[in-house]
């Protein structure tokens, strides 16, 4: 100690230090961060975003920091030297508080629900994404018209992304219902999709079917008629169908035909029309001209001045269109038969086409097929044209009406 006595006395004290210590300044930018030195928590936490630790033994330290609500940051190393202060800076990032959902390969237009709340639709490319989902277990549901809804319980973790592919998001097509009531009860009725085994239909039974187009076939006696029916997902249809053909009672003047055993005879009468309008369906009959030059029948008959006229003699089937009483140039199809013998015809009529066939043994030969764009060929009536001096014999006449599947 050195003492200097003067008019203004001053006491100077020199305390030489040779302590073997160092200090460390830890900077985090966040308060209340816990600092660890060589894995041991330091007694104090950061304040004002920093912590100064003094009186440390000079050496190499492993330093890390942590704080609730923040992501873990990499540990750092520092070597402290006697009498010096070192600094370490840590970049603290807040931990994500929400989860997210990403879907790929899902059906376009699928609506996505989480806990019964809709969050939008799957895009045309099959993608969907959603952020800000609260962590925890949630019910994820996918809904699309025509498909069975799909429900899944999924766990969403904070800061994580749940990814679902086509295998997880595929939806099963909803099924449709069909009930057919039909007569006669002994009709054989089946349904079939292309490439699949036909399903036998029981009268009055309800069937559950996959959506799509089905061919409905009904066989009564030796006649089979077919129609196309659409099964729609989620819908149940009931059809009341009659496969009983119309017979001789369906003529506008049934009494004009005289029954002679199994044959009906008509002499003259001019235009003899059947009542069915529209005339869509199938006409099957056997006919013979007992008196006259040719067998004549009418299709799409609006009245006695507008119709399609078919004429068949021993060598030709002729067809012509009559409009306002004037006959247009017709078409002739060669086919040799005997008009004095019964010939069996099958005429299939739809709004777009008329097909005329003649029976040849066990098979049918197509004589004519008519299509007139823009003309409803079933709008008019079917009938015969029997001049007054002609006589026609008719047997096994049936009209199988086209089935309405609406």
Model pLDDT, residue 173: 84
pLDDT value of position 2: 44
pLDDT in tens, 213-235: 999 999 998 889 889 999 988 88
**E-strand spans in 210-269?**
212-220, 223-231, 236-242, 258-260, 263-267
CATH number of 176-242: 2.60.40
| pLDDT reported for residue 19 | 87
pLDDT score at 23: 96
> What CATH number does the domain located at 248-401 have?
2.60.120.560
pLDDT digit string (tens) for 257-276? 999 999 999 999 999 999 99
Query: Which contiguous run of DSSP H or E holds residue 44?
Result: strand 40-45
Q: What is the DSSP string of 268-312?
A: --EEEEB--SS--EEEEEEEEEEESS-EEEEEEEEETTEEEEEEE
Task: Kindly report the backbone phi and psi dihedral angles of residue 169, in degrees, each rounded to the nearest multiple of 5, phi listed first.
Answer: -105, -5
Residue 106 and residue 124 in contact, taking contact as beta carbons nearer than 8 Å: no
User: Taking the domains of the chain in order of start, what are their residue ranges?
Assistant: 22-89, 99-169, 176-242, 248-401
The class (CATH top level) of 99-169 is mainly beta
Compute the distance between CA of residue 14 and CA of residue 1 in angstroms, rounded to an integer.
Answer: 7
Distance CA 406, CA 390 (A): 43
Beta strands (DSSP E) in 146-268 are 150-156, 161-164, 176-183, 188-192, 199-200, 206-209, 212-220, 223-231, 236-242, 258-260, 263-267
Would the CATH topology of 99-169 be identical to that of 176-242?
Answer: yes
Q: What are 234-251's pLDDT values in tens digits? A: 888 999 999 999 999 999
pLDDT digits (tens, 9 = 90+) for 80-104: 999 999 999 999 998 888 899 999 9
Asked whether the predicted pLDDT for residue 306 surpasses 70, the reply is: yes
Indicate whether 11 pLDDT > 60. no
Looking at residue 233, its pLDDT comes to 85
Instruction: Flag whether pLDDT at 405 surpasses 80.
Output: no
pLDDT value of position 6: 45
- The superfamily (CATH) of domain 22-89 is Carboxypeptidase-like, regulatory domain (2.60.40.1120)
What is the sign, positive or negative, of the torsion defined by CA atoms of 41, 63, 31, 157? negative
Instruction: Return the H-helix or E-strand segment holding 169.
Output: helix 166-169
């Amino acid at each position: 100690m050195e003492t200097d006595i003067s008019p203004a006395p001053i006491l100077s004290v020199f305390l030489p230090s040779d302590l073997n210590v160092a200090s460390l300044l830890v900077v985090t930018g966040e308060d209340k961060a816990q600092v660890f030195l060589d894995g041991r928590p330091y007694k104090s936490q950061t304040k004002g975003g920093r912590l100064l630790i003094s009186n440390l033994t000079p050496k190499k330290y492993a330093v890390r920091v942590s704080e609730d609500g923040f992501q873990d940051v990499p540990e750092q190393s520092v070597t402290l030297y006697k009498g010096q202060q070192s600094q370490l800076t840590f970049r603290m990032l807040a931990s994500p508080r929400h989860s997210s959902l990403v879907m790929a390969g899902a059906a376009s237009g699928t609506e996505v629900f989480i806990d019964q709340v809709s969050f939008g639709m799957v895009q045309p490319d099959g993608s969907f994404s959603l952020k800000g989902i609260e962590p925890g277990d949630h019910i994820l549901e996918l809904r699309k018209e025509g498909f069975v809804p799909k429900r899944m319980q999924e766990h969403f973790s904070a800061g994580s992304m749940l990814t679902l592919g086509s295998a997880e998001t595929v939806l099963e097509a909803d099924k449709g219902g069909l009930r057919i009531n039909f007569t006669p009860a002994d009709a054989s009725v089946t349904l079939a999709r292309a490439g699949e085994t036909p399903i036998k239909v029981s009268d009055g039974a309800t069937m559950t079917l996959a959506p799509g187009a089905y061919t409905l076939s009904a066989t009564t006696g030796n006649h089979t008629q077919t129609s196309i029916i659409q099964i729609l997902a989620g819908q149940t249809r009931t059809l009341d169908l009659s496969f009983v053909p119309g017979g001789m009672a369906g003529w506008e003047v049934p009494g004009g035909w005289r029954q002679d055993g199994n044959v009906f005879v008509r002499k003259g009468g001019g235009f003899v029309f059947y009542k069915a309008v529209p005339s869509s369906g199938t006409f099957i009959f056997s006919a013979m001209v007992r008196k006259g030059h040719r067998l004549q029948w009418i299709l799409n008959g609006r009245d006695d001045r507008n119709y399609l006229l078919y004429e068949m003699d021993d060598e030709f089937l002729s067809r012509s269109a009559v409009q306002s009483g004037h006959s247009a140039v017709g078409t002739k199809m060669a086919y040799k038969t005997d008009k004095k013998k019964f010939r069996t015809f099958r005429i299939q009529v739809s709004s777009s086409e008329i097909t005329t066939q003649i029976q040849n043994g066990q098979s049918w030969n197509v004589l004519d097929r008519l299509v007139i764009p823009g003309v409803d060929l079933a709008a008019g009536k079917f009938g015969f044209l029997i001049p007054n001096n002609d006589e026609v014999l008719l047997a096994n006449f049936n009209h199988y009406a086209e089935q309405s599947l609406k």
